[in-house]
Structure 1
Amino acid sequence: MSKDGIKGTEAWVEKIGKYELPALAATVRNLEKMASNDTASLASLGQSVLHDQGLTSRILRVVNSVTYGVGRNRVTTVSRAAVILGYNTLKHICITAKMIDSMLRNRDINKQVHDRLLRLMAKSFHAAMLARTLIGEHDEDTREEVYIAALLHELGEIAFWSMGGPITEELDERLSERRGSKDQLVHEVLGTSFDQISVGLASSWNMGEMLIRSIEDPGRRTPEMRAIELATNYSDALTDPEARVDVASCLSDMAELMGIPVAGIKRRLKRCTEESVELAVSYGAEALTEYLDPKADLSRFENEDIHHKSDEMMQLKMLRELTQLSAEKADLNLLVNTAIEGLHRGVGMDRVIVLMVNQQKDRLTPRFVSCQNAEKIETGFVFPLSAAQTVFDDVYKDQAPLWVEEPNAEAWRQKLTPAIRGLSEGMSFFTGPLVVNGKCLGLIYSDRAETERPLKRDDFAAFNHFVGQLSLCLSLAIR
């Protein structure tokens, strides 16, 4: 029995998903269950990524890395990255970034356990890059599926070591003493295997059939399964000198899979390792590079733009992006999501909600929701438009923005219905009209309820600028 008293696959899956890595679990679930249409995809990105500015910056660094080669013009918004790379590719970049962030966040880990974690993450990272290389002749969606399956192939073990604490130290000590096989010792301590935990997490998080098949049936001879197996084996040998891998046989099998000579495989492996180092730095995981390539020169990354821009500079960049999209006659949903991204990254708003009027013009409903707990807002709020003269009524009819600075003040008592107070959670907020060709089609609502930071006059001016620019861009696009 382990020191934690936890035994069995279900118990470990629940502990990891609910208590150890809830942010990663939530992100993965949100991204995996989104609908296939563009509106739902971009809305999911807004919900899962845009309000996390640190994550957004890392994703944009990755998108602009050599690996993804988006061209000479740097991608400055997540919305445009989704259009250029496709949703599936960007989804997997988000998952990778969130996984690295979640796994490396715990600083209270024993040094030996931490070394195991870093080595295993480096292996998984390199295996994902290599598997995608090995399956290079297939379509992009298949390559991305293979990538994520190789990346998360060791998910159960990585998640376990990232926990830290007595249970991880106990198992690390037993494995170091080598009094039995690894599988046997893991089962004695956990009451299950790392593979079973990986499958349990993959199923719980809706990670797709390819990942589950690669763990449960690795001997299946499809090109995808072979690529994952060979990449995992070779990356194990690369990151762990004590790994028992027949490297020569592995190289021969990879050459056969790709239909090229072994010498060609060796050149591709060298390039793959170099790209893995660069990508790890882009993800903010420099600690992994020691295990990927101990001689890697990281000095060339030191002067990279890490998006430490002032709010004003970021606002200008996002407003320019919005204008450029309008000139390119971009999709309306992309215009809206770019404005939402500008309010998050440029103005520093926590929550941005676009409320659209229905055909009868008698109510407002949330259409684009970018914040935590977005589903609750999407399904739980409808705001009637009536003679009641609420805050939303005033903005809709007068086509003028409002800043509700003190929600509990007497001036707002009749203007804030229970539904509006429920949405704002009693916090100050901005709301402005979305006016397209002279007609108000809805409202934009924004606040800082998640961080409880104060709103200022400059913030209101910037909010109005984005709302006005979006209204103008939509008017031009519809014409």
Structure 2
Amino acid sequence: MDNKTFGLRAWMEQLNRSELPAMAVVVHDLLRLAQSETASVGQLTDVLMRDAALATKVLRVSNSVYCNPGREVIKTLSRAVVVVGFDQVRMIGLSVSLLDGLLTQSPREQLQALLARSFHGAVQARNLAQYLDQRQQEEVFIATLLSHIGELAFWSHAGKQADRLAAALAEPGAEPDKVMRRELGVTFEQLTVGLLKTWNMGEIGQLVQASRTSDGPAARAVALGSNLAGRVAAAGWTDASVQALIEPVAELIGTDAEHAWQQLVSSGQEAVRVAGHCSNADLQQWIPRADDLPLDLSALLQMEVVPEVEQAPSERAPELEPETLLQPNLKLFKLSVDHLKLMVRAAMDVDTILNTLMQGLHRGAGIERVALMVLAEQKTQVRVRAAIGKGAQRWRDTFVLPCSGQPHVFSHALEQRDCLLLGGAEQGALNTLLTTEVVALVGSGPLVIAPVVAGSRRVGVLYGDMRLSGRELAQPQVTAFARMAELTGQCLQRLSQR
């Protein structure tokens, strides 16, 4: 029988003879910069430039549509920091170091699947941490990504012993811990603790350990992110085990279940997009997509008029009887989504795409006024290309806003990747984008906007409000709005390729 590595000490010696320690040094230094209040651009670029391949990959990711929707050509790391942001470039460096560093030796399926799951969990946990303490976001991200580092290192560097273990674990009735102790003399959990200690990842190691018992908010974010990614990978988004995590997430971030669910789905979609840029392997295929999840709009059927602050008679929203209020038509909304999905695969003309979009959001999702504002006059103006809802049709003749000068909500949306709900007290500084000119055109009150992007080309901004009745925009409506904006961009991109 050939010699094999057995026991914790032997495995630690073997793994620390590999390329892993060099990768750990980069991760450690990038994490140290995250914890420093005086970290400079020069220090960040110095760490990244130690490895030419890493620096090249960070530049490639920084030039991607996801990180750089304006498509400004970035040739240096210092310019990447200016365009993309210091924290984002550092996060890209961390992700690339870990993902490609572990995939160097072995692209086996077990490794790719676990890496994708770990990355998905890390994105989920980081986005939950932003509700708790933004200073801990990167620590939470790295702790979640490294919470399975022992198993990742094994599948990456164990060679033939990894093949034997995979075969043993595949046997009917195999108990993973018993099989590992028999075959390796150690568990993956022990390898994780040992590697983090060897790599001097003190605080990260403590956070990983605390996540096993959910000791503290940051540790709970790590645990929930990791658990969610594992359950989604095993059973899909609609499984009861995944749904069971919605309430704990809502409790952690201090919101309702609906918002918590949308946060998880949004983070899942982000993980799919980013994984495609941060690794040489196709990790996207291992993260279940949430694109086809049914949108729950049932709560919209019970929408009621929300009392507003007393206004002058000329400014007050018209009083409408409940039976005359626009109500969602869930069947029509689903039909509109299905038609847009078909048009992503088989291009149709612009008018058909926009008519489907307008009808789906207005009559389907029950949004009273909807419009698509597009870049015009050599991208110097924003004008209305399509509109629906009482009084909105006249915007095609009257609505004109310059793209230069004082920033406004539409120019801001063109620079963003996310759907935004504005006009409420909780939006704070963003409400300054509702300029006098904007209010003169669309009125005051809550509104939802989302950029429409066709590949790398910024087409315009999708706009919606409930100004006619004075009702609030419900979270499911905002979710529907964001999904339709994304699909419209995909349809227009497909049309441009025809």
Q: Please tell me whether residue 42 in structure 1 is matched to residue 42 in structure 2.
A: yes
Q: Following TM superposition, by how much is the alpha carbon of 1:177 offset from its aligned partner in structure 2, in angstroms?
A: 0.6
Code of the residue aligned with 1:260 in structure 2: it is T
SS across alignment from 1:106:
coil
SS across alignment from 2:5:
coil
SS across alignment from 1:19:
coil
2:193 pairs with 195, 199, 209, which one?
199
Code of the residue aligned with 1:181 in structure 2: it is E
SS across alignment from 1:219:
coil
How far apart, CA to CA, are the structure 1 residues paired with 2:61 and 2:218? 24
How far apart, CA to CA, are the structure 2 residues paired with 1:274 and 1:220? 25
How far apart, CA to CA, are the structure 2 residues paired with 1:69 and 1:62? 9
Partner of 2:264: 269
SS across alignment from 1:56:
helix
How far apart, CA to CA, are the structure 2 residues paired with 1:77 and 1:117? 32
Partner of 1:188: 182
How far apart, CA to CA, are the structure 1 residues paired with 2:221 and 2:138? 12
Residue 150 of structure 2 contacts residue 192 of structure 2 at CA under 8 Å; is this kept in 1? yes
SS across alignment from 1:177:
coil
Partner of 2:9: 10
1:197-234 Cα distance to aligned partner (Å, 9 max, x none): 11111122122423433236621431111111111111
Residue 148 of structure 1 contacts residue 211 of structure 1 at CA under 8 Å; is this kept in 2? no
CA gap 1:187/1:216 in 2 versus in 1, 3 angstroms: farther
Q: Following TM superposition, by how much is the alpha carbon of 1:17 offset from its aligned partner in structure 2, in angstroms?
A: 2.3
1:161-211 Cα distance to aligned partner (Å, 9 max, x none): 012521001111111114442122112222121112111111221224234
Unaligned runs of 5+ in 2: 293-343, 345-498
Q: Following TM superposition, by how much is the alpha carbon of 1:129 offset from its aligned partner in structure 2, in angstroms?
A: 0.3
1:118 pairs with 112, 117, 131, which one?
112
1:157 pairs with 129, 133, 151, which one?
151
Residue 143 of structure 2 contacts residue 205 of structure 2 at CA under 8 Å; is this kept in 1? yes
How far apart, CA to CA, are the structure 1 residues paired with 2:78 and 2:38? 11
Residue 251 of structure 1 contacts residue 265 of structure 1 at CA under 8 Å; is this kept in 2? yes
**Worse-superposed segment, 234-243 or 173-182:** 234-243
CA gap 1:69/1:146 in 2 versus in 1, 3 angstroms: farther
CA gap 1:122/1:165 in 2 versus in 1, 3 angstroms: same
CA gap 1:197/1:227 in 2 versus in 1, 3 angstroms: same
Residue 81 of structure 2 contacts residue 89 of structure 2 at CA under 8 Å; is this kept in 1? yes
SS across alignment from 2:227:
helix
Partner of 2:58: 59
**Worse-superposed segment, 136-145 or 116-125:** 136-145
1:124-179 Cα distance to aligned partner (Å, 9 max, x none): 00000000111122443301110110111111101100125210011111111144
CA gap 1:33/1:284 in 2 versus in 1, 3 angstroms: closer
SS across alignment from 2:105:
coil
1:227 pairs with 197, 205, 221, which one?
221
How far apart, CA to CA, are the structure 1 residues paired with 2:210 and 2:184? 19
Residue 28 of structure 1 contacts residue 207 of structure 1 at CA under 8 Å; is this kept in 2? no
How far apart, CA to CA, are the structure 2 residues paired with 1:245 and 1:18? 43
Residue 239 of structure 1 contacts residue 291 of structure 1 at CA under 8 Å; is this kept in 2? yes
Q: Following TM superposition, by how much is the alpha carbon of 1:239 offset from its aligned partner in structure 2, in angstroms?
A: 1.6
2:277 pairs with 275, 282, 285, which one?
282
How far apart, CA to CA, are the structure 1 residues paired with 2:265 and 2:54? 29
1:291-326 Cα distance to aligned partner (Å, 9 max, x none): 1136989xx9xxxxxxxxxxxxxxxxxxxxxxxxxx
TM-score scaled by length of structure 1: 0.53
1:131 pairs with 122, 125, 134, which one?
125
CA gap 1:20/1:248 in 2 versus in 1, 3 angstroms: same
CA gap 1:217/1:145 in 2 versus in 1, 3 angstroms: closer
How far apart, CA to CA, are the structure 2 residues paired with 1:45 and 1:202? 25
How far apart, CA to CA, are the structure 2 residues paired with 1:147 and 1:185? 30
SS across alignment from 1:266:
helix
Q: Following TM superposition, by how much is the alpha carbon of 1:266 offset from its aligned partner in structure 2, in angstroms?
A: 2.3
How far apart, CA to CA, are the structure 2 residues paired with 1:137 and 1:67? 23
CA gap 1:215/1:190 in 2 versus in 1, 3 angstroms: farther
Code of the residue aligned with 2:92 in structure 1: it is I
By relative contact order (CA 8 Å, sep 6+), the higher-ranking structure is: 1
Residue 211 of structure 2 contacts residue 220 of structure 2 at CA under 8 Å; is this kept in 1? no
SS across alignment from 1:174:
helix
CA gap 1:11/1:220 in 2 versus in 1, 3 angstroms: same
How far apart, CA to CA, are the structure 2 residues paired with 1:222 and 1:290? 33
CA gap 1:253/1:75 in 2 versus in 1, 3 angstroms: farther
Q: Following TM superposition, by how much is the alpha carbon of 1:4 offset from its aligned partner in structure 2, in angstroms?
A: 4.6
2:204 pairs with 210, 228, 246, which one?
210
2:244 pairs with 249, 253, 263, which one?
249
Q: Following TM superposition, by how much is the alpha carbon of 1:89 offset from its aligned partner in structure 2, in angstroms?
A: 5.6
Q: Please tell me whether residue 176 in structure 1 is matched to residue 170 in structure 2.
A: yes
Residue 17 of structure 1 contacts residue 25 of structure 1 at CA under 8 Å; is this kept in 2? no
